[in-house]
Structure 1
Amino acid sequence: MTSTSESTLLESVPNQLYIGGRWIDAEGGRTIEVDDPATGRSIRTIADASPADGIRALDAAVAAQAEWAATAPRVRGEILRRAFDMLQERKAEFALLMTLEMGKPLSEAAGEVAYGGEFLRWFSEEAVRISGRYGQNPEGTGTMVVSQRPVGPCFLITPWNFPLAMATRKIAPALAAGCTVVVKPAELTPLTTLFFAKLLEDAGLPGGVLNVITTSSSGAVSEPIISDPRLRKLSFTGSTGVGQKLIAQSAANVLRTSMELGGNAPFVVFDDADLDKAVDGAMLAKFRNIGQACTAANRFIVHESVADVFARRVAERVKALSIGRGTEQGVEIGPLINDKAVDKADGLVQDAVSRGAQLVTGGKRVDGPGSFYEPTVVSGVVAGSEILREEIFGPVVSIVTFADEDEGVRLANDTQYGLVSYVFTADLARGQRMIDRLETGMMGLNVGVVSNAAAPFGGVKQSGLGREGGLEGIHEYLSTKYTLIPNS
């Protein structure tokens, strides 16, 4: 049952499209339902954009581009800073809203508000630091001026698992750089983005700079936007398969692209590791966001001499996790996003067990309502198991053993993905070797969480292109211009 406070919050969330500074209905009045994964019940009816609505949003972004690009960097930065301050004042509302539409425990949702807000603060400061170069050319015949310009109108596609942070991580650098945007949040968790758009509106963001379209027809709505020659940048976070299709669509107009795609993170525990730190790190790297994160540890690659004790200690912690609706006090594991996600996690566990792995704890669906799956530990996973190849996106620890450093590295790199890795060792020289040898864009050394607004987030191989956050993040939305001024 939805409480009075939850109902009041949900009614305050806009349920229309945000285009050109106005809240409007979708073409034909089409609507979609947003469900609470903990109950399976609808919590809000919102607009369902058509392809024509998507083009209207792009029209608005194009119309606002020149004026926004000419807006002083300090003004752009101050709008983002006001948005950061307002988010802190309303953090309880945003946290509850994310828990209602996505299912994560309220404490984790509050953590996402803090993390997501940092992108607003960071890029409010970076807006005034966009710089270039000025100097004489080597021949001495003229002056070279290198400057940075906004790329232009951007299309930002965000995923369902971090509804606020994935929006701020894209929107903040784009606005700081002087770009206008069309944002398409995931159909499963669009309410947080709509609520955030209202916050930016209240913070003084001019109409047309940010446009939000919610839709149940992602491909049909996205394709005309991507193929429009006025669009200059596409940023997507989601599966590798969808990312590959979007890259192909972007080729026709040679769009700038940023792709944060799938992951299959190795969590490597060496025989000299501090097991207290390794177990703590494992709980963070695996069970944050109920395992529904591209940075979640997917394959626990543990030295054979400590694998049994590591599995036992992790299982003890996992058995103690509290399962329930994220709004309930003390809950640590909420629902997965939907029944399809439960089916996937359970299928991967059953496949591993059928090939000889041992089920240490968990491994079952939780009776409804809602889409819950028991936190699970599977040890002795054998080569060829699907759980070693596919991104689990659920609360499942899969353990495989190795005998020496070379084998550990080989197992860790044995994937098409390369987003993040985690290494636990007391040997700093070995840690340095792992930085060099592991094929990932990010690495946590003796730590289970690496994300930070001040750090570049992104991967290699089929985990994506480009970086979000850090000094690098704003440059994804800038183009470099070189001018030669002759001496005479």
Structure 2
Amino acid sequence: MDQLLYINGKWTGENLDKITVYNPANRDVVGTVASATEQETQAAISAAEEAFSSWSRLAAYERSSYLEKLYTLMMEHKEELATIMTSEMGKPLKESLGEVQYAADFIKWYAEEGKRVYGRNIPASTSNKRLSVIKQPVGVVAAITPWNFPAAMITRKLGPALAAGCTVIVKPPKETPLTAVRLVELCEEAGFPKGVVNLLTGSSSLIAKELMGSTAVKKVTFTGSTEVGKMLIEQSAQTVKNVSMELGGHAPAIVLEDADLENAAKAVMASKFRNAGQTCICINRVYVKEEVYDTFTEMLAKETAKLTVGNGMKEGVDVGPIINEEGYEKVAKHVSSAIKQGATVLQGGEGEERDGGYFYQPTVLKDVNHDMLVMNEETFGPVLPVQKISSDEEGISLANTTPFGLAAYVFTESLSRGTAVVEGLDYGIVGWNDGAPSAAQAPFGGFKESGIGREGGIEGMEAYLETKYVSMQVK
């Protein structure tokens, strides 16, 4: 089924070139989407700019009502959205259902949080002045999203932007645009005024060039690789755009000897192999105290062996396909390289191409060290290397030996040791005895080269607001 662009309240692009969307599990054609040119991109920018004037002036409660309608529609179409997501991204259907709920949570949260955008009065130093601070929406927002979470990465941007009074141009990736199309259809059904939400599918480089060069686009919010994020930051400098960047990660987990090892093994396994390891905050490397190293790795391998790999649409599947051949080859390279350097495969270690899709068995590697590629690059696949450490300090040091700082994890029952580790980790998100820390009401973002700004929580609303200071002299 051909899907079109959504610009200024109309579906358009019938005569444009089309991009084919494939199911990564079997390479079946799922659908096609229109490929926007410079002309359509400029039209979307103009529509969003024109709509901003009236949308930003609506009362917060009025904007909230639109978001509430969108939330209700997402819940009514939960199974449909999940099916679309699995068909174009590959994750198991049960994970897709969970993502739809997570995505809707952002809409619900910001429907409420938009009512709480507060300014403040400041005591003046003289009696004839009144000082105040007011918050205003930043303007037209371009939201560029990734393929691994086709719904949540849109709503995590769309919710706060719309609640703040901004208008939005959504640019999903070519791999998973159909979930975005359905979400925007629901926005239309919810009654959002024309131009408030716009959708562009097509060439990322072409569309981004127009968005970044436009003075009408005041903010760019991007989730994706650090490499692309750096390019967008450079381009944003030409018009001094407000930017939010949620970029790459290489998440460590530190397991101390006083941890609840059974809970830790299950949490590490769940974090790593969700979405076939194609998650920016999933655990990529594990550091385990030497006293419990052998016990923990065996427990981890045992839990991992319970997972079933296959087509995400089939019941009982826990781990779906790798998104494409390039991703699969990176996973295989990391494993083979580690084995050549002395790593031992406790579980998995093999992949295969079948039915046109690329699958890799959930893998646990023992006896790894920091000379190995898998400990220095984000695998973005179902591979879990485990390294032995002799002290808490060594774990912290090794965990911080990376230019990234998105998410990290620590497992210990000691309040004192856990606090020291948490404070010592150079990461924006830390899960303490928790492998699933994400929540709509909490800030999400990283240190160092993992990004700029935060999404989620009250911080996520601030990202779409400007601060205006007013000094008024009175008689």
Measure how far apart 1:101 and its partner are. 0.5
Checking the alignment, whether the CA contact within 8 Å between 2:370 and 2:376 is kept in structure 1 is: no
Give SS of 2:29's match.
Answer: strand
- The one-character-per-residue Cα deviations of 1:9-47 (angstroms, maximum 9, x if unpaired) are xx5xx7000000000016x52101000000012110111
Match of 2:239 among 230, 253, 260: 253
1:468 aligns with 2:468: no
Query: Structure 2: how far apart are the matches of 1:396 and 1:443?
Result: 21
Structure 1 counterpart of 2:10: 22
1:224 aligns with 2:210: yes
Match of 1:59 among 46, 51, 73: 46
Give SS of 1:371's match.
Answer: strand
Give SS of 2:147's match.
Answer: coil
Query: Structure 2: how far apart are the matches of 1:135 and 1:333?
Result: 55
1:88 aligns with 2:75: yes
1:284 aligns with 2:289: no
- The one-character-per-residue Cα deviations of 1:191-214 (angstroms, maximum 9, x if unpaired) are 001100000110111110011101
Give SS of 1:383's match.
Answer: coil
1:45 aligns with 2:32: yes
Q: Which amino acid aligns with 1:131?
A: Y
Structure 2 counterpart of 1:363: 349
1:321-340 → structure 2 map (5 Å cutoff) = 321-340=307-326
Structure 2 counterpart of 1:139: 126
1:147-186 → structure 2 map (5 Å cutoff) = 147-186=134-173
* Count of aligned pairs: 474
Checking the alignment, whether the CA contact within 8 Å between 1:54 and 1:222 is kept in structure 2 is: no
Give SS of 2:443's match.
Answer: coil
Measure how far apart 1:51 and its partner are. 2.3
Moved more, 231-240 or 275-284: 275-284
Q: Which amino acid aligns with 1:23?
A: W
Structure 2 counterpart of 1:315: 301
Measure how far apart 1:140 and its partner are. 3.3
Query: Structure 2: how far apart are the matches of 1:226 and 1:73?
Result: 28
Query: Structure 1: how far apart are the matches of 2:44 and 2:359?
Result: 37
**Unmatched runs of 5 consecutive residues or more in structure 2:** none
Query: Structure 1: how far apart are the matches of 2:347 and 2:407?
Result: 26
1:75 aligns with 2:68: no
Measure how far apart 1:139 and its partner are. 3.3
- The one-character-per-residue Cα deviations of 1:117-150 (angstroms, maximum 9, x if unpaired) are 1000000001111110024313333111100001
Query: Structure 2: how far apart are the matches of 1:270 and 1:31?
Result: 52
Q: TM-score, normalised by structure 1?
A: 0.96
**Unmatched runs of 5 consecutive residues or more in structure 1:** 1-10
Query: Structure 1: how far apart are the matches of 2:422 and 2:298?
Result: 28
- Give the RMSD, CA atoms, in angstroms: 1.1
Q: Which amino acid aligns with 2:311?
A: R
1:274 aligns with 2:260: yes
Give SS of 2:404's match.
Answer: coil
Measure how far apart 1:310 and its partner are. 1.2
Checking the alignment, whether the CA contact within 8 Å between 2:99 and 2:151 is kept in structure 1 is: yes
Q: Which amino acid aligns with 1:357?
A: A
Q: TM-score, normalised by structure 2?
A: 0.98
Checking the alignment, whether the CA contact within 8 Å between 2:392 and 2:421 is kept in structure 1 is: no
1:241 aligns with 2:227: yes
1:303 aligns with 2:284: no
Q: Which amino acid aligns with 2:334?
A: L
Measure how far apart 1:478 and its partner are. 0.4
Measure how far apart 1:430 and its partner are. 0.8
Checking the alignment, whether the CA contact within 8 Å between 2:48 and 2:197 is kept in structure 1 is: yes
- The one-character-per-residue Cα deviations of 1:207-251 (angstroms, maximum 9, x if unpaired) are 100111011x21122112111111100000000000000000001
Give SS of 1:381's match.
Answer: coil
Measure how far apart 1:108 and its partner are. 0.5
- The one-character-per-residue Cα deviations of 1:349-385 (angstroms, maximum 9, x if unpaired) are 1111111111112111124111111111111112221
Query: Structure 1: how far apart are the matches of 2:377 and 2:102?
Result: 27
Query: Structure 1: how far apart are the matches of 2:128 and 2:291?
Result: 67
- The one-character-per-residue Cα deviations of 1:37-73 (angstroms, maximum 9, x if unpaired) are 0001211011111122211111111111101101111
Percent identity over paired residues? 43
Q: Which amino acid aligns with 1:327?
A: M
Query: Structure 1: how far apart are the matches of 2:315 and 2:393?
Result: 45
Checking the alignment, whether the CA contact within 8 Å between 2:281 and 2:407 is kept in structure 1 is: yes
Query: Structure 1: how far apart are the matches of 2:38 and 2:292?
Result: 55
